[in-house]
Amino acid sequence: MSLTDDILSQPTFDAAIRTAVTGVKGMKPTYDWVGIYLLEEDVLTLQDDHYLGQPTVHTRIPLNSGICGASATDGETLVIDDVHEDGRYIACSLSVRSEIVVPIIAGERLVGVLDLDSDTPAAFGEADRQELERVADALARAWQALSGE
């Protein structure tokens, strides 16, 4: 079963998130940290079981902060080849070199962001972006089907 089908066959949105995180983390060894922040009262919020990788202190990110906040605000995927060159970057781990953030948008509604960090510089190319945008789209559809909102 493809990851998108697997996400869409989960019984709850929480299970869909955990399925996505596990599936994406296993795609490539350079995907060192994979997590999904959900928008809760204008703050991107990370739950304990919604990421794989090193624990982070940044579990609540306001929309005007970080690469995550910028991607969520603009509704666009951001690919950062060198996080040390981007003043918006909030460091989760000193080893991180590159990052991609993909917004999860259901209709007009921003549900959250899919965030990946890599210890490899420029780890995220066009193929990675396309695959991760498909995952974010599956999560948006799962949210529409399962959130009850």
Binding site for ligand SME (CB under 6 A): 33, 35, 56, 58, 61, 66-68, 89-90, 92, 99, 115, 117
CA angle 37-41-60, nearest 5°? 40
CB of 33 to ligand SME, least distance (A): 6
Nearer to ligand SME, 4 or 35 (CB): 35
CB of 30 to ligand SME, least distance (A): 15
CB of 136 to ligand SME, least distance (A): 16
CB of 8 to ligand SME, least distance (A): 26
Nearer to ligand SME, 117 or 128 (CB): 117
CB of 77 to ligand SME, least distance (A): 13
Contacts of 25 (CB under 8 A, 6+ apart): 31, 34, 52, 53
Nearest-CB residue for ligand SME: 66
| Displacement of CA 9 from its chain's centroid (Å) | 20
139 in Cβ contact with 7 (< 8 Å): yes
| Cβ density class 19-46: b for 16+ within 10 Å, e for less | bbbebbbeeeeebbbbbbbbbeeeebeb
Nearer to ligand SME, 100 or 142 (CB): 100
Nearer to ligand SME, 106 or 117 (CB): 117
Residues across the chain: 149
Per-residue tokens: 4? 């998108």
